[in-house]
Amino acid sequence: MATSNQYSQASNANTWLGNTAGYSVGVSMLDEMLDQSGKVRPHWAYYIQALQKLGQGEVGLRQNEIHKLLRENGVTYNVYGDPDGSSRPWQLDSVPLLLANEEWRDIELGLLERAELLNLILTDIYGPRELIRQGLLPIEMLFNHSGFLRACDKVKIPGKHQLVLYAADLARGPDNRMWVIGDRTQAPSGAGYALENRLAMSRVFPNIFRDTQVQRLDGFFQSLRHGMQEIAPQNSDAPRVVVLTPGPFNETFFEHAYLASHLGYPLVQGDDLTVRDGFVWLKSLNGLQRVDVIMRRMDDVFCDPLELRDDSRLGIPGLLEVARRGNVTIANPLGSGVLESPGLLPFLPRIAEYFLGKKLRLPSAATWWCGQPKELDYVLNNLHKLVIKHICRGAMTSVFGSQLSRQQITYWRDRIRANPAFFVGQEHEVFSTAPSLVDGRLEPRQSLMRCFMVAQERGYNLMPGSLTRSATQTGDVLVSNQLGAMSKDTWIVGGNTPQQTNVIGNRHSEFIGSSYTSTLSSRVAENLFWVGRYAERTEGSIRLLRTTVKKLYINPDNSNVHFQHSLHTILRGLTNITNTYPGFLGDSKSNDATALLQTPDGELLSLMLDEDKVGSIANNQRSLVQAGYTVRNLWSSDTWRVMDEIKSHLEQSQQLTESTLWNIQEHMDRLITALSAFSGLIMESMTRGNGWLFLDIGRRLERALLLISLLRSCFSTAQASGTEQLLMESLLETSDNLICYREHYRNSIELPSFIELLMLDKNNPRSLAYQFNRIQEHVSKMPRKQSNAQLSVEERLILEACSLLDLTNLNDLIKTTKGHVRENLDQTLSRLYYLIATLSDSITATYFKHGQLQHSLNEVRPV
């Protein structure tokens, strides 16, 4: 265990630094690890010694293990406009930021004090507005801010805290104290990433983590869960909490899904919710279910297209009116984004004296709001050494005056004079650096901490740690995830004081365990349905393609006169099951099909690798990954690792464009293994609720449709017995039924036995009969309103399909009529395909269709 005498060995730790990285900082710079004399700070000493024992090579290996772990867990950050793709893997430095417990206590007091102050300001801004009457807050600064929403006036949530969730960005200032450099009050992001960072670090460095006595984070998330329960409307006995996300293309969607899963809340999008009778309802498969608390992760102006931003397609029309009536609680309340304005900073000291009767413990960077004549003159005269910011966060990137030319300074002076109330000038301070592992060396990088708080009845609760971000390059002054900043875990060390979670009994506690049953929305069910279909479609296509490649290259029986005919039939079957027409069927008016059949490599490679070709294996893989990512919160860690492997195979396939069919066989084998692992985990790990029901019915529908298409393509027209012998052998191998056939029938492959095994055998998990029986079971369990014992459309369709198959006479199926046509087989398969396809359409119409989005009456529409 780390002890005080280990801290005294700081000078020895410098040996590791000197030998490994030559770590040093500028004379005027502050560093988190080194004090101003260049020695390792006491609370860093044990950690550095532990790294020294591991050695540079081992630390590098563990950094690689962190990257692998985060990638397998699907931890991403979506970067808009990134040429490398929107979903960038989350970057975590293997060197954490360490803070002494004694210093953390002071930071905690300052942050809790600031949270209380901002809560009082928010309450006043949308309440009595005494701050404006007392001259403590300029009305121009407030009313010019886009985050001040007049429609939210007098809207209150239960309890004394209107600001439920709060995050503050901190950095060590030139006075060696922590400064607040930004407030996040709309939908503070990062807590989920901080938890994922902690899980990764504690797994990769278990001994160091344990011996350093790092304070744990789990208490904060318990507080977060209880905080959401406490703010539910007073008439809610069993409050339902949902996490509202803009969707999978949002930059922090991973965190939305991760937090929803960790907290046990449904993850919803705007279309999943509706307003009726003055309440918000979740459109679940079991009907409308009332929502009491919305933990929103989208900007407030997008939340209600009726009263706020009328071009929004993300929100819930009428949401604000429900909040106004007190029938739903939104955390954070709409309009709280106004507190993020840097224009508020210069007025905080006097407001703190007014509300708290004392000065703030944590300072902010000196800031001048340009809406005041004296402050405007100061900013214009000192533009070359200030940072210029818009009062609305996100309206523009911070401008550093020291980097501007004379012409640019003139431009900014004119721009500020034109609209002074929209700008602030802020003192440009150089904040501290922290060690980062860069190419196997420790190098100083400017770092910022984001600390998270949640309100409860007794006050705010602070996460004992933070999401720390560090710059990618030495000397970078902007530290942003959008600019590729690295993240760090934050360790509070040197003490093991338990966190005060403020978790107490409340009126909802007895309902927590049973509050979230049957909350699967129709959107989520639809995505699960298509996960099942795309998984089966990808697997079925690649199995047949693999069989085709084997016939072409591994065991081409060219001496058999029937080989060529059987190969061409399978190639046409590939076109039929992938729907990539004309493909090997070609155009009857040209010789394209004949040419492709003679030299099929190009078309087969396209079926495997062309991601833009609808129906190709790569295209189906992409659709599978996209549908799976949309319901990311429903997957276990093991299941998501397999999904990530499928995604990795897709990425690897895009690098195989110069390959041949011969050398992509291993790629096909690995992909089939991954898809089989995914199906196995679904069958063994996923609870048999509505989610599994729709996923598995999607798989069964798709498997049935693929098999029907393949059988119809290959056997509706009779061919020479030798050709059909080769076809049956190939299709039995494709469906993993070759060994099964030999064990059951113990004879050469014959058409009646083949048809019986693949169509009629109810014990064969690859047969049509088996798929139909499973579909019939699932359809009977689908959520629906009670009726007078009348069969639903879905039940009638699958009953007809099962009955048609049960009443089928095997000998009639294989008879040939009108020459070489097996008319009974073709008509039976055609009817079965129609019934199953219609069943799929009926499920979509019954369970997945959404109503039209409502909009403001004053929205302009094209005529």
Number of residues written out for the chain? 863
> What confidence category does residue 72 fall into, taking pLDDT thresholds of 50, 70 and 90?
confident
**Using only C-alpha atoms, what is the Rg of the chain?**
32
Residue whose structure tokens are 């027409």: 581
In percent, the amount of the chain with pLDDT more than 90 equals 68
- pLDDT reported for residue 551: 87
The whole-chain average pLDDT of the chain stands at 88
- pLDDT reported for residue 620: 96
The residue type at 518: S
- pLDDT reported for residue 237: 73
Query: What span, in angstroms and rounded, lies between the C-alpha atoms of 229 and 242?
Result: 11
Strands of the 293-296 sheet, one edge to the other: 267-268, 241-244, 293-296, 329-331
CA neighbor of 624 nearest in space, from 538, 737, 550, 753: 538
More confident residue, 100 or 496: 100
> What confidence category does residue 591 fall into, taking pLDDT thresholds of 50, 70 and 90?
low
- Which CATH architecture describes the domain 368-427? 2-Layer Sandwich (3.30)
Q: Is the pLDDT of residue 78 over 80?
A: no
Looking at the chain, the domain(s) classified CATH 3.30.1490.270 span 368-427
In percent, the amount of the chain with pLDDT more than 70 equals 88
Instruction: Confirm if 203 and 69 have CB atoms less than 8 A apart.
Output: yes
- Residue-wise DSSP of 192-233: HHHHHHHHHHHHHSHHHHHHTTPPPSHHHHHHHHHHHHHTS-
Helix, strand, coil proportions of the chain in percent (round to 5)?
Answer: 50, 15, 35
* Structure confidence by residue, pLDDT tens digits, 704-741: 999 999 999 999 999 999 999 999 999 999 999 988 88
What backbone torsions phi and psi does residue 59 show, to the nearest 5 degrees? Answer: -65, -40
Average pLDDT of the residues in 588-598 = 72
Q: Is the pLDDT of residue 682 over 60?
A: yes
Average pLDDT of the residues in 541-569 = 88
- pLDDT reported for residue 507: 45
Instruction: Confirm if 426 and 366 have CB atoms less than 8 A apart.
Output: yes
The region of weakest confidence among 114-118, 223-227, 475-479, 592-596 is 475-479
Q: Is the pLDDT of residue 482 over 70?
A: no
Q: Is the pLDDT of residue 430 over 80?
A: yes
The residue type at 161: H
Q: Is the pLDDT of residue 794 over 50?
A: yes
Contacts of 790 (CB under 8 A, 6+ apart): none
Query: What span, in angstroms and rounded, lies between the C-alpha atoms of 494 and 569?
Result: 73
* Structure confidence by residue, pLDDT tens digits, 227-274: 999 999 987 678 999 999 999 888 899 999 999 999 999 999 999 999
CA neighbor of 767 nearest in space, from 806, 725, 809: 806
> What confidence category does residue 508 fall into, taking pLDDT thresholds of 50, 70 and 90?
very low
β-strands 293-296, 329-331: how paired? Answer: parallel
CA neighbor of 543 nearest in space, from 577, 572, 566, 567: 577
> What confidence category does residue 685 fall into, taking pLDDT thresholds of 50, 70 and 90?
confident
Average pLDDT of the residues in 820-839 = 95
Average pLDDT of the residues in 111-125 = 97
